[in-house]
């Protein structure tokens, strides 16, 4: 399904950085409105899940975010997925502490 990537602020806080915000499984729902299965940012902020309708406002967003983690985290989606899988597996491995 379609994935929409927009530059937006995660919070209604003008001090916040601009992030790459991803609308997952985005479907148009009229003028500037999209339904998404969940909404998060590249740097890992989960904004909404379980199906939401997002209205896009013209907030004068720049072409690029200024969130350093969004910029550095912008990689090939396949690579990001592979990396997440590795990280998940690493978390699932029990840690054994042996006395010296």
Q: Provide the binding-site residues for Zn ion, judged by CB under 5 A.
A: 19, 41, 43, 67, 70
Between 5 and 27, name the residue whose CB sits nearer to Zn ion: 5
| CB contact set of 29 (below 8 Å; sequence gap of 6+) | 35, 53
Tokens of 88: 């998940």
Between 26 and 67, name the residue whose CB sits nearer to Zn ion: 67
Between 7 and 27, name the residue whose CB sits nearer to Zn ion: 7
The CB-of-2 to Zn ion minimum distance in angstroms stands at: 21
The CB-of-85 to Zn ion minimum distance in angstroms stands at: 22
CA angle 82, 40, 94 (to 5 degrees): 45
Which residue blocks in 14-74 are alpha helix, DSSP H? 68-72
The CB-of-66 to Zn ion minimum distance in angstroms stands at: 9
Tokens of 41: 């940012």
């Amino acid at each position: 399904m379609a994935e929409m990537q927009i530059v937006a602020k995660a919070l209604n806080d003008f001090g916040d950085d601009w992030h790459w915000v991803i609308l997952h499984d985005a479907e148009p729902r009229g003028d500037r409105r999209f339904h998404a299965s969940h909404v998060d940012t590249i740097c890992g902020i989960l904004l909404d899940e379980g199906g939401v309708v997002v209205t896009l406002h013209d907030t004068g967003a720049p072409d690029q975010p200024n969130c350093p983690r969004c910029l550095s985290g912008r990689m090939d989606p396949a690579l990001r997925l592979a990396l997440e899988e590795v990280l998940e597996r690493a978390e699932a491995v029990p840690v054994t502490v042996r006395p010296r």
